[in-house]
Amino acid sequence: MLVAYAVHAATLLLLVLDRCCALSSMNQIQPSFTGKMILAPLTKGGNKPFRRLCTDFGMETSVSEMIYARSLLKGSPVEAARLRRSVKEKTFGVQIATNQIEEGLNAIDLIQKSGADFVDLNCGCPIYDVTRRGLGSSLLRSPNKLHKLVKGLVNVKALREAGVSAITIHGRTAQQGYTKDANWEMIRQAVIESKEEGYGHIPIIGNGDILTFYEARKRMEETGVQSVMVGRGALIKPWIFQEFKDNVTLSPTAQERVQKESLDISALAFSVLIKILPISQRRPYTAICKQTIDTETCYLYIR
């Protein structure tokens, strides 16, 4: 397995782009970043049961919840659990938060042994607990150091050529958060500049406010991004991936939503499904829940 890098960044990505895109891509992983709707790394949401549900609804490429590389190396069982991959996930990447080359390399060794297809370096998380450690979006404050970090991580791993294989742009600044709409014009400009500077072979993935399949198609057409990444859109309706593939709006019944194909419903999977719904909308799932797991556990997660 080759370890590929997708730099997940906010609106300062153009600074990263100038530094990182001179590094060549790796063709083996790039098809998974082209023409796809990709599940974003969702902290406390993108767990294995939820990702498995998304695969039943057509998801092909996914990323784990963010993992602190340092905690993983210290043997944290929580971080180690985030390495687990659903058997149905076709292309699965693990997102790490690190700012040290040696630390990152050691984490990659563990990730590689776990069977992941690629590593995603988090350069966009605005959460204070992350940025206070010099991780996430704080990496964008020093593009020179970020360039050194990325190059060091991939060079030492003796890959075919040093470099990222894809770049994800979440069109927001860390300070802005969700107070404004994502800036897709900035993403479009990043795509144009990338091509003009000879780096059009590196896929750019657009992220931000994608809640429907037709918005995804429209953003791809308007900006030229090779793929889109969804987070909230998948939490609202996991079948958005199937809608994207089929170019059609789906309206699955409550039964179909939780018993898609061979999905084995667990309490955790059910908690993901229903906790994203208002309490008033949870009632249709109650009967299905009672038929699948014990009543006590059912109510524990439905209440």
User: Which residues participate in catalysis according to the annotation?
Assistant: 125
> What angle separates helix 184-196 from helix 13-20, to the nearest 10 degrees?
20
How far apart (Å, rounded) are the C-alpha atoms in residues 281 and 99?
43
